[in-house]
Amino acid sequence: MKPGWIGVLLALVVLAVSVLPVSAHHAFALDYDEGRSILLTGVITRVEWKNPHTYVYIDVKDPHGAVERWALEGNPPNLLTRIGWMREMLKPGDHITVFGYLPRMSSDLAIANVAAGRRVTLADGHTLVFGIGR
């Protein structure tokens, strides 16, 4: 292979990789509105401790007794671990209270029961940071 062909081959590889679909990571301020806070109390149904965000799903009873499932987005697992979280702290069946932020009305998340969880209060009263925001 001649040196000129190496450059052409490298350029083709770079071009091919650059057109692959990329799942962009979103910024908190694009999807969530710090002016729309929410406080939810419910029972954990599922925990997803994986990148790029940890998700906790809780069932919350509304004032009429109907159950709503909420998805709460938190920090990445490695960050939660560094600030004192352990996987065993959140288990299905546990009761928790979460302070967080609702999605912006312009966000795709606005049509679902999704919130950015900021602080989680465990049943024993311990409150820990779970996500970004004030």
**Looking at the domain assignment, is residue 19 inside a domain?**
no
Give me the pLDDT at residue 73, please.
94
| Domain extent at residue 98 | 26-129
pLDDT band per the 50, 70, 90 thresholds, residue 21: very low
Any domain includes 35: yes
Which domain CATH number covers 110?
2.40.50.140
- Strand-pair category, 95-103 with 127-129: unpaired
The answer to whether residue 39 scores a pLDDT higher than 70 is yes
Into how many domains does the chain fold? 1
pLDDT computed for residue 65 by the predictor: 92
* Segment 71-89, tens digit of pLDDT: 999 999 999 999 999 999 9
Give the strand pairing for 67-73 and 127-129: unpaired
